[in-house]
Amino acid sequence: MSADSKHWAKQNERGNRFFLAATTLLVRYLPAFLMKPCIWFVVGYFYLTSPQARRNIAHYQQNLQTAYPTLKLRRASVFRQFAAFGEAVCDRFAVWQRKIVYEDLVLEDPDDVYALIGDRSLRGQIFACSHLGNTEVCRALVSHHIGFKLNVLVHSRHAQAFNEALEKAGADRIQLIQVSDLDATLMMELSKRVDAGEWIAIAADRTPVRGEKTVAVDFLGETAEMPQGAWLLAGLLKTRVHTLFCIKQNGRYHLKLRRFIDTADWKRHTRQASVAAAAQQFADKVAEECAKNPLQWFNFYDFWNKDTQR
């Protein structure tokens, strides 16, 4: 199989419209104590029919345990990671159906980033997110902040059915922008929005759709390609970047915000070095969170490109 076909964006979504419609109804009407058996049934099907994803998660867990020797994963940890993802998918629907509300969220914000959101005198800033945890939850909850405008850069055309299902659940209240269309015109539009005080959220842990503009980082003891997009965008917009993780711990979502970098003083001749340093620093932050929450890493593709190296 070619490297291009292995790219995460080339892999079609597994869930069909029937399963997604069923999930929407189950989340809406089924009591919480009955949801787990249903999740495990559906997850079991995808687990048994996804050998490549099983190998990829096993590889991630092996690297994680090597990088953090004191971490001990229990038996059936690969299946449990699939189950955690199934639960996260249900929570994505639940939050748009108002079954997860602001009061269910635990805010961890030692740098007082949340205060910046409410300051209308500031230019907009950037949240660097990842596929660790469930950012869909914080998207919905943060969007309820009065006057706060969040633009989420996504590549979701490979998951059309899933996005249609989310929209039916009410997920159309946030500005989603396809990153495959991130051209000069859109860059100008984003600059105007940032100047108007709007914020941007972008995933900084998946290689670009076209595969270019990546930087090699050390992630969990192996070399991985991380995208430059978030850092290049921040450098061009001359704005601050903050990390955002939304992690489920003991049944509640913890919204973890930290100040990360300020690109206002980046120079053009040192931009590549600054981008590489930011990508490595972000990879280190993600690794730390993975060690704390090992089963909530939801990149099921070949993250380290091991298949393409054989």
Q: What is the pTM of this model?
A: 0.85
Distance CA 116, CA 119 (A): 5
- The per-residue pLDDT for 244 is 95
- Calculate mean pLDDT across residues 98-120: 87
- The per-residue pLDDT for 135 is 87
- The per-residue pLDDT for 226 is 92
Distance CA 226, CA 128 (A): 13
Contact between 60 and 299 under an 8 Å Cβ cutoff? The reply is: yes
Closest to 92 (Cα-Cα) out of 36, 144, 151, 133: 133
Distance CA 38, CA 23 (A): 9
pLDDT band at 152 (very low <50, low <70, confident <90, very high): confident
- The per-residue pLDDT for 263 is 94
Contact between 206 and 180 under an 8 Å Cβ cutoff? The reply is: no
- The per-residue pLDDT for 9 is 38
pLDDT, one tens digit per residue, over 210-261 is 556 889 999 999 999 999 989 999 999 999 999 999 999 988 999 999 999 9
Question: Coil, strand or helix: which one is 224?
Answer: strand
Distance CA 29, CA 24 (A): 9
Dihedral angle sign, alpha carbons of residues 78, 84, 89, 90: positive
The proportion of the chain whose per-residue pLDDT surpasses 90, expressed as a percent, equals: 48
pLDDT at position 11 over 50: no
Distance CA 147, CA 163 (A): 25
- The per-residue pLDDT for 29 is 64
- The per-residue pLDDT for 82 is 94
- The per-residue pLDDT for 185 is 82
Give the number of residues written for the chain: 310
Mean of pLDDT over the chain: 82
- The per-residue pLDDT for 12 is 46
pLDDT, one tens digit per residue, over 182-212 is 677 888 899 999 999 999 999 999 776 555 6
- Calculate mean pLDDT across residues 36-65: 90
Sorted by where each starts, the structural domains of the chain and their CATH numbers stand as: 3-309 (3.40.1130)
DSSP one-letter code for 213: S
pLDDT band at 1 (very low <50, low <70, confident <90, very high): very low
C-alpha separations of 110 from 67, 115, 185, 246, 256 in Å: 26, 11, 36, 15, 9
pLDDT at position 26 over 70: no
Distance CA 25, CA 21 (A): 6
What's at 45, amino acid-wise?
Answer: Y
DSSP one-letter code for 266: -
pLDDT band at 36 (very low <50, low <70, confident <90, very high): confident
Pick the more confident residue, 129 or 42.
129
What's at 106, amino acid-wise?
Answer: V
- The per-residue pLDDT for 14 is 46
Listed in sequence order, the residues at least 6 apart from 133 whose beta carbon sits closer than 8 Å to its beta carbon are 88, 245, 246, 247, 248, 289, 293, 296, 298
